[in-house]
Structure 1
Amino acid sequence: MAYEIPVTQARAELADLINRVVYGGERVVVTRHGKPLVALVSAADLERLDALDAPAEEPVIRSVAAVREAGGATTPREQHRFGITAEHRGPNPS
């Protein structure tokens, strides 16, 4: 549950509110006419919220797109750089 405070009072107590959020782990909701206007949350809470907003499939899509762009094959230079000693040649090796 968040601590609610009117915007007029929040202006006068901003430093104290910031301390409550940072050191007390509280969430503060600033209201105007009894309706929520904004919320003060810790930077850690904000990072978690941002992570929830990010699409979970995005890194996978990027990885697949990168493989398609590269053609799925490695060059001898890449094999040497990454220490690759084997190469996949498909179902019918010749």
Structure 2
Amino acid sequence: MAYEIPVTQARAELADLINRVVYGGERVVVTRHGKPLVALVSAADLERLEELKPAEEQVISSVSGVHEAKAAPREHRRFGIAAEHRGASGS
């Protein structure tokens, strides 16, 4: 769980926040009006996040390459109108 702090307070405590992240292993989320604005993470965490990026892109390209399989003729008879309504688009 990340430590949250308002941006106005973060400005005043930046050096302490950096120490919490680097030496304490914490993650700090700076908020404005209660909404997340930025996050302070260690360089090691950032490096791990960057390493995940290519794997994520590979999953996305794999999923986008999946095509819908056509229903077998037997399924059309079995499910009747519902299968007929589904059609080739799968909706």
TM-score by length of 2: 0.60
Supply the AA of the counterpart residue of 2:36.
P
User: Within 5 Å, which residues of 2 pair with 1:56-67?
Assistant: none
User: What percentage of residue pairs aligned between the two structures are identical?
Assistant: 88
User: Within 5 Å, which residues of 2 pair with 1:28-43?
Assistant: 28-43=28-43
What is the count of residue pairs matched by the alignment?
Answer: 58
Structure 2 residue ranges without an equivalent (≥5): 59-91
Q: How many Å apart are 1:54 and its aligned residue?
A: 1.8
SS, match of residue 54 in structure 1: helix
Provide the residue aligned with 1:22 in structure 2.
Answer: 22
Give the Cα–Cα distance (whole angstroms) in 2 for the partners of residues 38 and 57 of structure 1.
23
* Residues 21-44 of structure 1: per-residue CA shift (max 9 Å, x gap): 000000000000000000000000
Give the Cα–Cα distance (whole angstroms) in 2 for the partners of residues 48 and 55 of structure 1.
12
Moved over 6 A (4+): none
Structure 1 residue ranges without an equivalent (≥5): 59-94
SS, match of residue 22 in structure 2: helix
Q: How many Å apart are 1:56 and its aligned residue?
A: 7.5
Supply the AA of the counterpart residue of 1:32.
R
Give the Cα–Cα distance (whole angstroms) in 1 for the partners of residues 22 and 43 of structure 2.
8
Change (3 A) 1:57 1:6: closer
Judging by fraction of residues, say which structure has more helix: 2
TM-score by length of 1: 0.58
Superposed CA RMSD in Å reads 1.7
